[in-house]
Amino acid sequence: MSSKPIRLNKHLALSLGISRREADEYIQRGRVHINGEIAQLGNSVLPESEITVDGKPLPGSTKLEYVALHKPVGYVCSRKAQGDNPTIYSLLPASMSHLKPVGRLDKDSSGILLLTNDGDFAHRMTHPSFQKTKSYIVQLDKPLEPLHQQMISDYGVEIGDGPSKLHLERTDDTRHEWRITMHEGRNRQIRRTFLALGYTVTSLHRLTFGSYTLNNLTPGTYAATVKR
């Protein structure tokens, strides 16, 4: 923390990897104490202030950090391994264990994954209102019928939590491989969209997330990046 006073909600956001709005909710609910006293909205804190959340000392770093990881297939975006599937944190040094994924890639997907302790940045990258473009290369188990291509691109396909509309570009003559561009980020949206029409996605690789790309990162490697 700086030697100067800092707004409590900003300090909470940096330390916990949440947005300032979420930090304000923590304060409003009485979950935060400063030097043993219940914190109030608008409070500022000093380096020597003792801050607790739900009775526990505030963890984490107050330095904003941004990391781009080339997630390989087979890794889960959680802090605990799921069965035989390792976690993405096994690819990162222990000093980065406090960083949180910005969105998710499922176990069977690969590509660019951002991690940060900046909750406001994560909110701007993932909330639908900011319409961050993401692009993917997808392989299907069989050729995509032209009619189904039109349905997905022009009308959208119902997948249970609303229609899913994706922009498709063919990348080969077999109609098995497609480049997909989308602004949403619903859970397993691409896989569910094709499944609703009788297709199985056999490979899903994220190329870009907003203005971020993998550049020269190889699978399983990472690099510090900057907020854009």
Residues 200 and 143 in one domain: yes
Residues 12 and 73 in one domain: no
Residues 156 and 179 in one domain: yes
Residues 44 and 86 in one domain: no
Residues 122 and 170 in one domain: no
Is 118 among the residues known to form the active site? no
* Residue among 24, 54, 84, 106 flagged as catalytic: 106
Answer whether residue 1 is part of any domain.
Answer: no
pLDDT, tens digit (0-9, with 9 covering 90-100), for 191-209: 999 999 999 999 999 999 9
Indicate whether 48 pLDDT > 80: no
pLDDT bin (cut points 50, 70, 90) of residue 96 is: confident
Indicate whether 62 pLDDT > 70: no
Residues 114 and 218 in one domain: yes
Helix 20-28 × helix 8-16 angle, to 10°: 110
CA distance 5 to 34: 13
CATH of the domain at 180: 3.30.70.1560
- Which pairing describes strands 109-116 and 201-209: parallel, antiparallel, or unpaired? parallel
CA distance 137 to 141: 14
Q: What mean pLDDT, rounded, does the chain reach?
A: 91
Q: Is the pTM of this model over 0.95?
A: no
Structure tokens at 103: 């969105």
Residues 76 and 189 in one domain: no
DSSP H/E element including 194: helix 189-195
Which carries the bigger pLDDT value, residue 8 or residue 2? Answer: 8
Whether 184 contacts 128, CB under 8 Å: yes
Residues 96 and 121 in one domain: yes
Indicate whether 223 pLDDT > 90: yes
Residues 120 and 139 in one domain: no
CA distance 65 to 99: 8
What's the domain range around 39? 6-57
Enumerate helices (H) and strands (E) in the chain, giving the number of each: 5, 17
Which carries the bigger pLDDT value, residue 60 or residue 18? Answer: 18
Mean pLDDT of 96-112: 92
pLDDT bin (cut points 50, 70, 90) of residue 47 is: confident
Residues 121 and 137 in one domain: no
If one counts the domains in the chain, the total is 3
Residues 48 and 80 in one domain: no
CATH of the domain at 104: 3.30.70.580
CA distance 66 to 91: 15
Residues 88 and 44 in one domain: no
